[in-house]
Structure 1
Amino acid sequence: MRFKIILFGLFILSGFILNVYAEGGEKGFDINNLNKSVSPKENFYEFAVGNWVKNNPVPPDQSRWGMFNVLIEKNNELLRSIVEEVASNPNWEKGTAKQKIADFYVTAMDSARIERYGYKPILPMFNQIDKIRNKKELIETVAEFHKTGISPFFIFYVASDAKRSDLMAAHIYQGGVGLPDVEYYTKDDDRSKEIRDKYVRHVAKMFALAGEEQNAGEYANKVMKIETALAKVSNTRLENRDPIKTYNKMTLNALKKTAPEFDWDRYFEGLGVENLNIIVIRQPEFIKGMSALVDEVSLDDWKVYLKWNVINETAEALSAPFVMEKFEFEGKFLRGQQEIQPRWKRVINVMNRTLGQLLGQVYVEKAFPPESKAKAKAIVDNLLVSMKERIQNLEWMSDETKASALKKLSTFGVKIGYPDKWKDYSELEIKRDSYLNNLLRAWEWDIKDDLKKIGQPADKSEWSMNPQTVNAMYSPTRNDITFPAGILQPPFFNPEADDAINYGAMGAVIGHEITHGFDDQGRKYDENGNLNDWWTEEDNEKFQQRAQKLVDLYNGFVVIDTFKVNGALTLGENIADLGGLTVSFNAFKKTEQFKKGEKIDGFTPAQRFFLGWAQVWATNIRPEALKLQVKTDVHSPAVQRVNGPLMTMPEFFEAYDVQPGDPMRISDDKIVKIW
């Protein structure tokens, strides 16, 4: 499965929506969503969207249901209509975008053929593994698998060099495990033990489906042993949030000395990478430990491990028993999802990951009028001005550091809607032979496209997101913010809504991404996108003190049972939420609506601003999915994401007359003001 690192993203979800918020009040916010039995001073999330949460339970095929999921469903329906219209014509010229879209979709939807094949499509890879005679051939096979998107041992990828952001560099990142967090292998809490037990049984069932009934249990235990060993030498998610400690540039010779048991020459030769001089190692201790395991683990056990990687990463393109067993473990057990999504929806999701910009070209024609881009750009410009004012007026930062911060802000790039230059898919071949073959070809093409970039100048105009994605991101090495077409729609951005709703929603999103350039990670990059300390020692200490207050605030939030928000893990996103709201409110104060102060549906402009913020996070989530989120996600859950920043915002206190002692207001000595 292809690995993409997207840093500092808003991480919302994906989708398209028409105006479903016009009923029950002014366009932009539906007052029927309010729960007026709860005071906004007590629990603003419950007040603002409590009735929506009450009236919108999680559907059986979802693990969570929120405003974003409404968007997802609308978007999926639109993409389905686009793809099925294209797929209805079997005579597209070979090599065209529409031929590739059509053949991929038709082949993926041909369930009868897929069922006939069973696990036969992976037998060539099994045979390749069986033929391995020694550890050198093991490394060659790992390289071959990495070329096709299957990633045992570790993850190899290409990205900008964080200290030389104008150049693309090879990177190695820890990996090789099947559970969603490495701590699940080592923690002794009840949930982790349960997950490990279920995982071993799941691996055994998958081996049995792949023709290894007699050895399935033994093989599952071997996989668990190897993955546990890899997990023990891996960084935690929190450790991986430090961009300085995870930047370790090495020459190839230094890498060989660091991890001598792994044959790096053979690996890179097999990968097709020549004249590689420099590699960025994200977790050196992992590479050392992984390399040592090459000698410690027997060849036969490595073969079992490789087969598991093949099964696990290709299961979505195999027959129904594989798909359903994967769903039983990942969807039902880990996330609480009751039913699997229909096949067409799962295929659309795969196409978004593999043929994203091919779909995007057709999508923007249908869903993104040119005037939307201009209107969104105007709000972005307003937010950049607002952020500049906030920096200039910071009382805790020195003039020296302010000058550097303003210089960085002045160089921000802005991407809106869709790329000016689309990704070139001309070398990708899609046929009507099998779903798995098309998936592997797409992965291999993507990796080949990346490998060509090693040592080349970075193209900062390149997009890391698809236009149809409802999300946003900040790239620290490009020092730019991206807002795809998918997010520039209600409830984030609604041209028919009042400014208060748009600034509380889309404005806060834009401010969120801008603030990521100055959060606990982003602030370590300079105006050129390089890791470079531009802070005075005194200002650095002041930032750390303020950030710690935010960590402490979120650490106190109980989410479910004994699970609490991890304030350190979620710090970057919490800084961005607080900063985004503050910067957006500062911009909103300049609008005519705010200056006039006229009420809509009984709410002042300032009050509606915060209703717009709460609306986009209205969510129901299953307990299993919520526990997984708290453990693995750098974003706070919806309730805490809405209430957390408001509890420390004087603008919110004034809007809703929140007094000291009210639950939605922390004590003055704990108030956090960073940006």
Structure 2
Amino acid sequence: MKKLNQATVRGGAGDTTAAESARIQDNLYLAINGEWAKTAVIPGDQPRTGGFSDLADELEKQMLADFAGFREDPSQVTDPILAEAVKLNELALAFEDRDQAGVAAAQPVLDEVAGVTSWADFNHQLATLIKDGVAKPFSLSVEPDMKNTDVNLIYLDVPGLILPDKTYYAEDNENGAQLLAVWTKMAEDVLAKFGYNAEAAAKEVAQAKQFDALIVPLVKNSEELADYTKQYNPYAFADVVKLVPDVDFAGAITSVFGKAPEKVVLTQPHYFENLSQLVSEANFPLYHSWLLVNMILSTTSALTDELRILGGTYGRAIGGQKEASSHEKFAYRTANGYFDDAVGKYYGEKYFGDAARQDVAQMIHKMIDVYKARLADNTWLSQATKEKAIVKLNTIKIKVGYPDKLQPIYAQLKVKTAADGGTLLGNILSLNQVVRAYSFAKLDQPVDRSRWAMPGNLVNACYDPSFNDITFPAAILQAPFYSLKQSSSENYGGIGAVIAHEISHAFDNNGAKFDEKGNMTNWWTDADYAAFEKRTQAMINEFDGIPYSGAQVNGKLVISENVADGGGLSCALQAAKSEADVDLPAFFTNWARVWRLKATAAFNQLLLAIDVHAPGPLRANVQAQNMDDFYTAFNVTEKDGMWLAPEDRVNIW
């Protein structure tokens, strides 16, 4: 597979030094966004700025103003659930009260940690530790059974690592070593605020890192996790109990759920096959330090402002942010974190409305029809597979804007005000317990397909293969993605491509393994799937190794999103061409505009290691290079930087 030429690589990497002379024919992304990049400023409390981020920032400014109005005049809030969000917002803003209280609100957490003095104590209290969300050498959730999405199963997963990904622990990863040093100092400084002397703090943090190091070789990296169907490994519960005899799964899970489940899913069997070695008596002091440090760090944002800023040091280092968020942003994000669907519903109803929701729904239906037509004309699939694919398209559930009704969980989320003796941390711990209990109760309930995967105030969109549904929050349905003031071609280059992107996820390397009901099953003929894999490998090869921000793109990590990008752009292009006012230069210009991005070096490194999306500039350039119409729209020839030989252009859908 022919690699991108140097002009494309340089521009895709965000080099704006040639912005004044950049031509679309040499570098689409740079020509459209180069001048913007010269003056764009990354906010101090953000790791990036650009298309998605700019919309999110503007939305947040509006919501900060609205919440200030709610606090000033509570009578504006007629929704009782939104009123609870405002109460939490007010509590989060009470920095003076928390500064005076110090770390007192964290005492229940410290007491619970102190009560775990051995693995015997751990097992005796395990049911309570699960309910309370205390850090354990595993995590537990209840999700739809991938092979029968009408029912829910218990999923046992691995614990999180200190560093963002397993690859950061490699000896030659300087970024990982630097981040671990930042985490170490932060953790020691935080423990000092909790009364630990320097020697004791250093010992606890060192032992926590030792326990973390024991986990690293047993878990998968982000590339391995990108094929999420491999995380479905159902086991008879009795076999899991035998597999890890040193953890009382039998007693704890039976206590939490009121019965012993017939089966559970292990997301990473290799880890659980070795878990008994991890929970040895010799390792208990290391685990206890890991538990202590993790739990203390989890409380810092809800205590004093000094601890909020100090406890966020490592998180900011990962993304390269220069400063902590303001008090107002912190308070809004805290409230939104627990009441996001309620806040999103308010936002959608006030700033988006039902008329726009219906208009976008029409666009989605049209894009599905385009997809059906493309499938009908497909030359490399058999008729049997095409018919199955169309059945899947016909049953996709469309969710646009915001939900009409909120999930029952929101009625259970109650905030205890300061006047009633409530603290921010106390409320957070209580709310987390309610959320966990609600999630665990799903085990005995039918899968709720009406739930929304994203709130209305999130600038994003998604496809869920287990539900076969697509969600387009109201927040993304604005310029440059969508506007009645834009031409049809601009809208198709923006929201049209996003819509088709999400539809394409039903047929990416992961989504293709799920049927119209969201069940993981093979509905392809062997020959068709082999042809599909050949094409996805070409997409992997096309992106793999492209230099970006001092590193390289991992083609395997970003394949699912690249398949969706390619399918989305080609289908949106066909829809744009069906309109009387088609303007292909405007289509590709807006496609490049929505991917504008300026990010810190640390954030770019993070995304290259863990993000399943290719960097925005490369999404703009490489996918355009794969479209024959791009060459005719801008008269691109072999002499130009954007030229890619026809035989090297990758098109799947």
TM-score by length of 2: 0.92
Following superposition, the deviation at residue 406 of structure 1 comes to 1.4
On the 8 A contact 2:250/2:260 being kept in 1, the answer is: no
Secondary structure in 2 aligned to 1:61?
Answer: coil
Deviations 1:556-604 (A, max 9, x none): 311022x11111000011111111000111111111112xxxxxxxxxx
Deviations 1:422-443 (A, max 9, x none): 1222222211211111212222
For residue 530 of structure 2, what is the aligned residue in structure 1? 541
On the 8 A contact 2:493/2:573 being kept in 1, the answer is: yes
For residue 115 of structure 2, what is the aligned residue in structure 1? 131
Q: How does 1:73-92 map to 2 (within 5 A)?
A: 73-89=57-73
Q: Does 1:382 align with 2:371?
A: no
Q: Does 1:205 align with 2:189?
A: yes
Count of aligned residue pairs for this structure pair? 630
Moved more, 117-126 or 499-508: 117-126
Distance 1:639 1:297, change over 3 A: farther
Q: How does 1:578-617 map to 2 (within 5 A)?
A: 578-594=566-582, 605-617=583-595
Secondary structure in 2 aligned to 1:334?
Answer: helix
Cα distance in structure 2, aligned partners of 1:551 and 1:187: 27
Deviations 1:97-119 (A, max 9, x none): 24412220111100011112222
Distance 1:208 1:445, change over 3 A: same
TM-score by length of 1: 0.89
Q: Does 1:577 align with 2:560?
A: no
Letter in 2 for 1:521: N
Secondary structure in 2 aligned to 1:414?
Answer: strand
Cα distance in structure 1, aligned partners of 2:589 and 2:101: 52
For residue 103 of structure 1, what is the aligned residue in structure 2? 87
Cα distance in structure 2, aligned partners of 1:576 and 1:225: 40
Moved more, 455-464 or 205-214: 205-214
Cα distance in structure 2, aligned partners of 1:136 and 1:250: 25
Q: Does 1:112 align with 2:90?
A: no
Distance 1:271 1:312, change over 3 A: farther
Following superposition, the deviation at residue 289 of structure 1 comes to 2.4
Letter in 2 for 1:531: M
Runs of 5+ consecutive residues of structure 2 not aligned to the other structure: 1-17
Deviations 1:161-180 (A, max 9, x none): 10001112211222242322
Cα distance in structure 1, aligned partners of 2:69 and 2:282: 51
2:405 to 410, 421, 445: 421
On the 8 A contact 1:151/1:176 being kept in 2, the answer is: no
For residue 10 of structure 2, what is the aligned residue in structure 1? none
For residue 5 of structure 2, what is the aligned residue in structure 1? none
Runs of 5+ consecutive residues of structure 1 not aligned to the other structure: 1-33, 595-604
2:622 to 638, 641, 644: 644
On the 8 A contact 1:511/1:580 being kept in 2, the answer is: yes
On the 8 A contact 2:626/2:644 being kept in 1, the answer is: yes
Q: Does 1:554 align with 2:572?
A: no
Cα distance in structure 1, aligned partners of 2:216 and 2:127: 21
Following superposition, the deviation at residue 220 of structure 1 comes to 1.0
Cα distance in structure 1, aligned partners of 2:355 and 2:79: 32
Moved more, 76-85 or 412-421: 76-85
Distance 1:113 1:211, change over 3 A: same
For residue 222 of structure 1, what is the aligned residue in structure 2? 207
Distance 1:86 1:291, change over 3 A: farther
Which has more helix, going by share of residues?
2
Letter in 2 for 1:158: V
Letter in 1 for 2:279: V
1:630 to 605, 608, 611: 608
Cα distance in structure 2, aligned partners of 1:417 and 1:229: 45
On the 8 A contact 2:82/2:343 being kept in 1, the answer is: no
Letter in 2 for 1:223: A
Cα distance in structure 1, aligned partners of 2:168 and 2:371: 40
Following superposition, the deviation at residue 622 of structure 1 comes to 0.9
On the 8 A contact 1:259/1:292 being kept in 2, the answer is: no
Letter in 2 for 1:377: A
2:384 to 381, 400, 408: 400
Secondary structure in 2 aligned to 1:593?
Answer: coil
Q: Does 1:247 align with 2:232?
A: yes
On the 8 A contact 2:546/2:552 being kept in 1, the answer is: yes
Letter in 1 for 2:210: K
Distance 1:175 1:299, change over 3 A: closer
For residue 305 of structure 1, what is the aligned residue in structure 2? 290
Secondary structure in 1 aligned to 2:442?
Answer: coil
Cα distance in structure 2, aligned partners of 1:95 and 1:502: 34
Deviations 1:26-63 (A, max 9, x none): xxxxxxxx956211111100011111111212122221
For residue 152 of structure 1, what is the aligned residue in structure 2? 136
For residue 257 of structure 1, what is the aligned residue in structure 2? 242
Distance 1:187 1:270, change over 3 A: farther
Q: Does 1:319 align with 2:304?
A: yes
For residue 353 of structure 1, what is the aligned residue in structure 2? 337
Moved more, 513-522 or 139-148: 139-148
Deviations 1:260-308 (A, max 9, x none): 2211023324534534222111111112223431125443332222111
For residue 658 of structure 1, what is the aligned residue in structure 2? 636
On the 8 A contact 1:61/1:340 being kept in 2, the answer is: yes
Secondary structure in 2 aligned to 1:245?
Answer: helix
Following superposition, the deviation at residue 150 of structure 1 comes to 4.5
Letter in 2 for 1:628: L
Q: Does 1:505 align with 2:494?
A: yes
Distance 1:142 1:347, change over 3 A: farther
Cα distance in structure 1, aligned partners of 2:335 and 2:611: 24
Secondary structure in 2 aligned to 1:454?
Answer: helix
Following superposition, the deviation at residue 663 of structure 1 comes to 2.3
Letter in 2 for 1:590: S
Cα distance in structure 1, aligned partners of 2:395 and 2:171: 44
Moved more, 191-200 or 490-499: 191-200
Q: How does 1:335-346 map to 2 (within 5 A)?
A: 335-346=319-330
Distance 1:92 1:122, change over 3 A: farther
Distance 1:615 1:484, change over 3 A: same
Secondary structure in 2 aligned to 1:152?
Answer: coil
Following superposition, the deviation at residue 90 of structure 1 comes to 6.6
Secondary structure in 2 aligned to 1:285?
Answer: helix
Percent identity of equivalent pairs: 28
Secondary structure in 2 aligned to 1:166?
Answer: strand
Q: How does 1:462-541 map to 2 (within 5 A)?
A: 462-541=451-530
Secondary structure in 2 aligned to 1:215?
Answer: helix
Cα distance in structure 1, aligned partners of 2:143 and 2:24: 45
Distance 1:218 1:235, change over 3 A: same
Moved more, 624-633 or 143-152: 143-152
For residue 7 of structure 1, what is the aligned residue in structure 2? none
On the 8 A contact 1:95/1:426 being kept in 2, the answer is: no
Deviations 1:53-83 (A, max 9, x none): 1121212222111122221222112222222
